[in-house]
Chain A
């Protein structure tokens, strides 16, 4: 019976363009031409769930259906790569800890308050990693510290709050760190959970990095990690996000990107800071307020 045929519709070039334009205008993610295959695969389950017969029908659903907002989110969710793990890009983290922590300590000595943001945090590994680094550095022991993790995908946020991780998330975590910051999950032998004291330092929220209004709800940050998020954005979306991130940083606050990303050609909103171990960006100081900064 034809109705039970489990073959799947192919995506025409036109359907690809329509869907990609739609996704792009919503969240800045640009799906490249050569990724049609990937888009097709990732969206099949969505078509299946909605009973849409082909990608045109799916596109119409995204445009017209009463549930279109929910579905758009699901589509974006399946298109974004959520690949992440604890202690990713260790040299950057080392530079952050060894070189920026002392500066931040000095700078915020009066308020004894520190805010870090993992923007595009996926399932939470990066945010917890930052909390672990802070905890390891005794210098912030009785400070008011908070790590804020946000993502556009609600599904990964659920995972982040649950804080249970398997071997793949821990592939760069040493035995020693595993011992100190995680506890076993009794029901699942291959999984561990982040310890409660670390969890208590981190909070999560839903946020589209392109949403200017929504970003007003984010507190002013001392440093933002936005790693491996903008790789899927085009120049203009990147510019927009950078403007928003800059606005959410205190003057002199730091922006850390993934190691394959850089801000060349993106204007002068940030200045480049050469650390011994890494390159980071910084929101320029207000004039006359440069105390404690590396020169």
Chain B
């Protein structure tokens, strides 16, 4: 192409078409003229405009477009007309089917092609009939189009064509069946394997047959000299693996492994395929690598994670490479791209052993924050006492503290005393309050004196940490510390006291929590609402009812939940809460309704938020009586969003059975 772009005149024509109002009168011929423009951009704009016209009717537009298809010598215009026709949908069907009977084979072929693009099942019968066209090119197009539109019938007809005397017909029949995802019986495909021209299409179809016998044929393709054939075989193996149960996968693996052993340069071939342009080929290469178990390919496998869609396959393949694969990854971590590193780190969680502690710690030094959490998790699974102290250090970092807490718990399963010692040391050094909780949980009763001491510490973070966990070790001590904490001057300590009181409950919990419900700090108030629900303090119901109207959505939602937990949710309060502007509050209402409240759920089927509608449908499906059926049905008809539709359909089915 020359070094230029459209002229100003072209630009003007383009804009003129773009700016047309599709509701205008007499635009049909203007746009048809646009289809004949010398610039493809203008033609495209015209085709686009024709699909949006309000007059004449789409059927009439389609008929006019079909006439353009007949203009020999006007290739650009014909293609643009085809584009417009396929965009018109069902309305184009009639005129195109008529065109299938045109005297000119060229026109008939056009009709078949566009019907394929329309992809409407309604065209199946006419296309099947057109398979007996006298012109080979037409028949080929028809077979391919059947692959796009057809159903059961089309598949059977295409299967018959596999025995056609014309190789081209056999080819398009294979392609059609592949795109229909309706593979024929293996015995019908096997004879075609000898024809080199058909091989790639045969492979596509074989990939849809989840049987070891098909895998055998595909593996022959792996040794082909032609790259395209090898890649087709790999892609098909990927498709096949996705269709298989785990038992069948085992058989597939065995067949692939055998085949790879016979290939002298299998490793190099797989490495290359892992970098293929085509995603399907990469997916297939992963299947083959997993079968081979070749840990030396761990790095290129991890790099496939640059394609988000293949993440799942990458992780499962890495998992198959075992601890040796884990070592290869750990050694190469600095060289991996960011997505590959993320995948590698995640798979490491399952691949570590005691030898991994040092490299994992090294990785912690420089890994990105979101990866560090996973590295921490891996450390917890090394079953090595050496991991205890680095993990305790990580409690200090707010980003890793949560993960480190859990990892220490897991590690304590195999090396408890090392974990306790490292934690005690950290507490003595006042390293981080987070270590208190873990120590209490791992260390048990012997930690009590230490907890009492910490509850008087001058630093509120230590006081809060001790109050938070004491009750888990000993209820009596916990209650005593929690009571004192309720009057603490520091917010985190009061919140810890409230939480602990909620967990410990008791007949005086309601009275003790009362001031916290009016705390000057909204956070403490929110925690207090939850604690009332948890402790079963029904004497606080009136306070909660008032908070249901609170503009802070989180507070209102917590109150709804607490009331329903106490079993004290009245209709009036429910109705009030269902009008809260925050949909999360309304959803909480829905999880609290029963009996009388079902009418409320029915009214919420029209809520502006899809997730509220879905929740309402679910509630009605769960416990709605026959009287709800009609409104649920109506809602289903009106619903356009996928998830609420699902929930509504499910509800209709369940309610009908009652």
Q: Which chain A residues have a beta carbon within 8 Å of chain B's beta carbons?
A: 1, 3-6, 13-14, 17-18, 34-35, 37-38, 41-42, 44-46, 48-51, 60, 63-64, 66, 74, 77-78, 81-83, 85, 99, 123, 155, 166-169, 188, 190-191, 264-265, 267-268, 271-276, 282, 284, 294-295
Contacts and interface: CB of A to CB of B under 8 A. Distances in A.
B370 A83 contact: no
Q: Is the interface of B mostly helix, strand, loop or mixed?
A: helix
Interface in B361-380: 368-374, 377, 380
B614 A14 contact: yes
Given A45-B373, A45-B374, A274 B5 contact: yes
Contact of A271 (B11, B308, B554): B11
B308 A99 contact: no
Q: Looking at B334, B339, B412, B523, which has the most chain A CB atoms within 10 Å of its CB?
A: B334
15 contacts: A3-B409, A6-B406, A13-B643, A35-B309, A42-B370, A45-B373, A49-B403, A51-B402, A77-B370, A83-B306, A166-B334, A168-B338, A190-B335, A265-B48, A272-B6
A128 B651 CA distance: 57
Interface in B188-241: none
B2 interface: yes
B639 to A, nearest CB: 14
B338 A82 contact: yes
Contacts of A169: 337
A96 to B, nearest CB: 14
A264 B44 contact: yes
A248 to B, nearest CB: 21
Contacts of A1: 409, 441
B18 interface: yes
A49 B373 contact: yes
B538 to A, nearest CB: 25
Rank and list the top 6 A-B pairs by shortest CB-CB distance, nearest first: A4-B409, A45-B373, A64-B554, A168-B337, A273-B5, A167-B335
B550 to A, nearest CB: 12
B430 interface: no
A34 B309 contact: yes
A246 to B, nearest CB: 15
B611 A46 contact: no
Q: Looking at B401, B406, B441, which has the most chain A CB atoms within 10 Å of its CB?
A: B406
Given A48-B402, A48-B403, A284-B11, A271 B311 contact: no
Contacts of B44: 264
Nearest to A37: B312
Contacts of B399: 49
Contacts of B246: none
Contacts of B553: 63-64
Nearest to A122: B338
A178 to B, nearest CB: 15
A291 B106 CA distance: 47
A155 B367 CA distance: 12
B267 to A, nearest CB: 20
Contacts of B610: 17
A14 B400 CA distance: 28
Given A3-B441, A82-B338, A268-B14, 8 more contacts: A1-B409, A35-B309, A37-B312, A38-B312, A48-B406, A190-B335, A274-B3, A282-B5
Contacts of B133: none
B407 A41 contact: no
Contacts of A265: 48
A295 B334 contact: no
B179 to A, nearest CB: 19
B23 interface: no
A275 B5 CA distance: 8
Contact of B369 (A14, A34, A155, A191): A155
Contacts of B400: 49
B4 interface: yes
Contacts of B353: none
B336 A168 contact: yes
B308 A35 contact: yes
A274 B18 contact: no
A14 B336 CA distance: 34
Interface string B81-124: 00000000000000000000000000000000000000000000
Contact of B380 (A6, A14, A46): A6
Contacts of A264: 44
A14 B618 CA distance: 12
Nearest to A267: B18
B611 A168 contact: no
A66 B311 CA distance: 33
B542 interface: no
Interface in B1-38: 1-7, 11, 14-15, 18
A45 B342 CA distance: 11
A292 to B, nearest CB: 14
A117 B580 CA distance: 45
A155 B410 CA distance: 30
A284 B12 CA distance: 12
A159 B340 CA distance: 17
A37 B343 CA distance: 13
Nearest to A168: B337
Contacts of A276: 3
A96 B629 CA distance: 64
Given A45-B373, A45-B374, A294-B5, A155 B406 contact: no
Contacts of A44: 373-374
Contacts of B372: 45
B5 A83 contact: no
B3 A275 contact: yes
Given A17-B611, A46-B370, A60-B554, A294 B3 contact: yes
Nearest to B408: A4
Contacts of B346: 41
Given A6-B410, A41-B346, A49-B373, A294 B312 contact: no
B316 to A, nearest CB: 11
Given A77-B370, A264-B44, A274 B335 contact: no
Contacts of A50: 402
B402 A268 contact: no
Given A45-B374, A60-B584, A83 B337 contact: yes
A188 B365 CA distance: 12
A38 B346 CA distance: 12
Nearest to B339: A83
Contact of A274 (B2, B48, B409, B412): B2
Interface string B292-313: 0000000000000010110110
B643 A17 contact: yes
Nearest to A34: B309
B3 A99 contact: yes
Interface in B546-568: 553-554
